[in-house]
Structure 1
Amino acid sequence: MFSGINNTIKRDNYRWVIWAVCALAFLIVFFHRYALGVVAEDLGSELHLSGTQLGNLISMYFYIYAILQIPAGILADTIGPRAITVSGMIIAGIGSFILGSSTIPVTAYLGRFLVGLGVSGILICILKIQTLWFKPKEFATVLGLTSLVGNSGGILATTPFSLLVMNIGWRSSFYVIGIISILIAGLLWLVVRDKPEDLNYSSVLEHTDENNNIDIKSGLLYIIKDKSTWVNFIILAGIMGTIMSFSGGWGVTYLMHVYDMSNDAAATQVLIFTIGVLIGSPIMGRVADLFGDRKRLIQVGSLVFTVVWGYKVIAMNNILPMYQLPIVYFLAGFFGIFMMLTHAIIKEINPPKFSGVAISVINIAPFVGTVILNFVIGWVLDLTWQGEFVNGARLYEPENYQYAFLSYFIVSLIAFIFSFYINETKRS
């Protein structure tokens, strides 16, 4: 009796060690995701990139990330999260070195591609580990904590990264993050285990036989044919795509061009956006687990997010008074992150043995949304550009950004409408 209790206590303690190391890797994932936003001006100038080319470089990460979500989910369900996370962080580190040494667009694209390739399976593996090491009633809370740590990487990729770039240059800065990525890979190998049974701990699943004889093809078909998958997919694509596109791509350059801010001042404004995400993440998870009504939280979050972008882009012509910028960005980040609850919904309406595949399908959405939005925004900026250059980079006027950022409002409104069609399971 006592040995069983002791076994459970050890398992429940060690799972947090595993989670902490995986969350650290997820922090680096977010840093890689948003880091180009800070150096976009430098890249555009040194590599002579147009708005469309710069948008494509930023999106290269998201292209490969989105394409590999389902394969990564299948691998998480079959060979396990440990091997994927370790190899992925090594590849991301190599990609960061290549990006930092780029002198032509082709090598920059290659470096960004390898970074996206390496980190593409990290979140899926973390959520798979959460499924196997944590109880269902804890899932949304741990999801919120994971989002909190991950988005801390987004914060590090704003003002702190801008200061690092100012001191050692953007190339050396990418070398540093490459080294850190590879060191974390070693830590993952030492600490992470795919499931409690690997350390002779008891399983947290009530029916452990559900993980045997996995038929990936039938599971994938089941998930794809479920209309709930696509409702949640569209919501995530619209709002998380907007967050990632603005924070990781266009936010800093927009503020520099429209408000004549320095790079670090613009990065600080985007940092406030990310702080909203950071604070909203654990609150979202805890409230969802306490009350169980995830649909209502998603509806509220998507409504506020849509109103914020409508006010900014349409009512105020995309030129807010300076004192309103931090308020608007904080609200957008705080309520926008509520969309992460779609992961918990998808996880619960699908069998545990297919959790990796189910999450991988839905996790494609933010990156599809980001890629589409980055392309549209870059295309609209180039279409409306009036031919001016500053320090070798294209200069876009406020009205150029207003036309481009209308896409943020439109996709947010679509996400809000689809939130009324969510189906979720409710625990007693």
Structure 2
Amino acid sequence: MENQNSKYRWVVFATILFTYLLIVSQRTAPGLISDQLMTEFSVTASTIGLLTSIQFLAYASLQIPIGILSDRFGPNVFLIVGTLLNGLGTLMYSAAPNESVLFLSRFLVGVGDATIWVNLVLILSIWFKVNEFVGLLGIAGMTGSLGFLVATVPFSAWISLTGWRAPFFTVGIILCLSAILLYLVLVLKPRKMDMNHFESKKSSKKLVQKREKTLVILSRIFSDRQAWAAFLCHFGAVGTYVGFIGSWAVPYGMNVYDMTRSHASQLIMIGLFGAIIGAPLTGWISSRIGSIKRPYIIIHMIIFVSWIAFVLFSGKPPYYMLIILFLLIGYGNGASALTFAIVRKSFDIREVGVVSGFANTGGFLSAVLLPSIFGRVLDHFQSAEISVGYHYGFVIPVIFSLIGLFGGFLIMEHRMPKAEVN
């Protein structure tokens, strides 16, 4: 395809990654102000957990519909509209006068966020060749981790300096401007360059005529062992990490270890360094040994053992171990990009969108469940020492990560050609 040989594809790649970084930062930035929201709006820990969950619930519930629609009609419009909704939701959050507006704003952010990853995968499939895909997917995963990193110390320092409303307002404005930039880069400029928009529009019309009915596709995917393996792997690797750092990680550091907000953010940042390394390094290892299953099972074992350590040390492991645990759990989250390598190599290109959406639903279903359940556990033990609530709360990610490990064993290995040794 013409666009796969164009230098302009790197402009597309950079623009999408910038937008992705901003959107990902808003998944976890609200976790920095959980305690402030509880005080300002007089709400309980359960309510804060639900506030985080509603964003991920919107995200998770829309993954399959977005995948189907993007496969059929192309990814550009969904990505642009989703970015705009994310920006508007963030603006509304910054000006929220009560908890009802907080819930509505996070729901809008979740709807916008739901469009980003599935369409990023599809756009990479359109603009780049198959042999470039896995490497670029690792870079995209690393960019997402950088987005999480932005939402730690830098964002925390900004909040400490100006209060929490101004930073969210500013990011909301930038996201709205990013939606305009995406339109210029993905739609307007390619039309002016006459890049056949990209043969894919013509070919997509042919594909639509040949497509099976949606229910037939869904039925086949829901009964496919490989699709469920991807779903469960993402459930265990992503939701445990995103759900925890997006809601309770900063309060955990402050309440259990008597850290300042900035110090607790630095602790999370260590995990994000692990995530930044995890995507490209694990992708490289996978390519070198010609296997996705083996490294992914090892990753899930590491995640599982790491969460067990929190329980074994009664919710308060030694500080040096805490650093190592966050680093390992973060690495596992970054390595979850392998989920989409499984999808890309196991399914027809016409089904990559919907299967990617299905797999991504797994990750964010656990991200929906974990903050809310964790908050209820904390509320249940609120009369006890604070570490007791966290001790029992950590049982939740242990169970979730065990489910992810099971998914790793379900993977049917599709052998990749081993990378040549230089």
**In 1: Cα distance, 2:176 partner to 2:9 partner:** 23
1:110 maps to which of 104, 108, 117: 104
- Residues of 2 paired with 1:328 and 1:63: CA distance? 27
Establish whether residue 85 from structure 1 lines up as the match of residue 66 from structure 2: no
Q: Which residue of 1 aligns with 2:403?
A: 414
Residue aligning to 2:296: 298
Q: Per-residue CA shift, 1:95-133, capped at 9, x if unaligned?
A: 111111112110000111111111211110000011222
Correspondence list, 1:21-420, <5 A: 21-192=15-186, 199-200=195-196, 211-213=207-209, 214-217=211-214, 218-314=216-312, 316-386=313-383, 397-420=386-409
The one-letter amino acid of 2:328's match is L
What's the CA shift for 1:210? 7.8
The 1:353–1:45 alpha-carbon spacing in structure 2 relative to 1, beyond 3 Å, is same
Cα deviation, residue 212, structure 1: 4.5
Question: Scaled by the length of structure 1, what TM-score is found?
Answer: 0.90
Tell me how large the CA RMSD over aligned residues is. Answer: 2.3
Letter in 2 for 1:324: M
In structure 2, what is the Cα distance between the partners aligned to 1:339 and 1:98?
31
CA–CA separation in structure 2 for the residues paired with 1:408 and 1:212: 41
* AA partner of residue 394 (structure 2): F
**Contact residue 301 and residue 336 of structure 1 kept, 8 A:** no
The one-letter code sitting in structure 2 at the alignment partner of 1:421 is L
Contact 1:256 1:263 in 2 (8 A): yes
Q: Over residues 60-82 of structure 1, what are the superposed CA-to-partner deviations in whole Å (9 max), with x where a residue is unaligned?
A: 11010011111111221122211
Distance (whole Å) between structure 1 residues aligned to residue 207 and residue 334 of structure 2: 31
Identity, % of aligned pairs?
Answer: 32
What is the one-letter code of the residue matched to 2:315?
N
1:202 to partner: Cα distance: 7.8
The 2-side partners of 1:22 and 1:339 are apart by 20
One-letter amino acid of the structure 1 residue matched with residue 236 of structure 2:
G
Relative to the length of structure 2, the TM-score reads 0.92
The residue aligned with 1:392 is none
2: distance between equivalents of 1:108 and 1:353?
38
- Partner deviation per Cα, 1:189-234 (whole Å, 9 max, x = no partner): 111259x997148879xx9898442335132222122122112212
Contact 2:4 2:128 in 1 (8 A): no
In 2: Cα distance, 1:87 partner to 1:342 partner: 26
Q: Distance in 2 between matches of 1:73 and 1:52?
A: 31
Quick one: structure 1 residues 10 and 360, their matched pair in 2 at CA, closer, same or farther if it must change by over 3 Å?
same
Distance 1:368 1:309, change over 3 A: same
Distance verdict in 2 for CA 1:222–1:326, change over 3 Å: same
Contact 2:142 2:334 in 1 (8 A): no
* Deviation beyond 3 Å, 4+ runs, structure 1: 7-10, 200-204, 207-212
Partner secondary structure for residue 424 of structure 1: coil
Distance 2:206 2:281 in 1: 32
Contact preservation (8 Å) 2:90, 2:106:
yes
Q: Counterpart amino acid of 1:414?
A: I
Asked if the contact 2:38–2:44 (Cα under 8 Å) also holds between the matched residues in 1, the reply is yes
Corresponding residue of 2:420? none
What secondary structure sits across from 1:364 in the alignment?
helix
Distance in 1 of aligned mates of 2:32 and 2:213: 40
Give the aligned residue type for 1:43.
L
Q: 1:45 to 1:129 in 2, by over 3 A?
A: same
User: 2:61·2:361 contact (CA, 8 Å) conserved in 1?
Assistant: yes
* Aligned CA distance change for structure 1 residues 83 and 168 (closer, same or farther; 3 Å): same
Shift of the 8–132 alpha-carbon distance from structure 1 to 2, 3 Å rule, reads closer
Residues 152, 278 of structure 1: 8 Å contact kept = yes
Per-residue deviation, 1:269? 0.4
Structure 2, unaligned runs of 5 or more: 418-422
Structure 1: where are the runs of 5+ without partners? Answer: 388-395
Partner of 2:413: 424
C-alpha distance in 2 between matches for 1:330 and 1:89: 30
CA distance in 2, matches of 1:220, 1:241: 23
Change (3 A) 1:184 1:279: same
Q: Secondary structure at the match of 1:115?
A: helix
1:18 aligns with 2:12: yes
Give yes or no for contact 2:315–2:392 (8 Å, CA) kept in 1. Answer: no
- Give the drift of 1:378: 1.1
Structure 2 CA distance for partners of 1:357 and 1:281, relative to 1, 3 Å: same
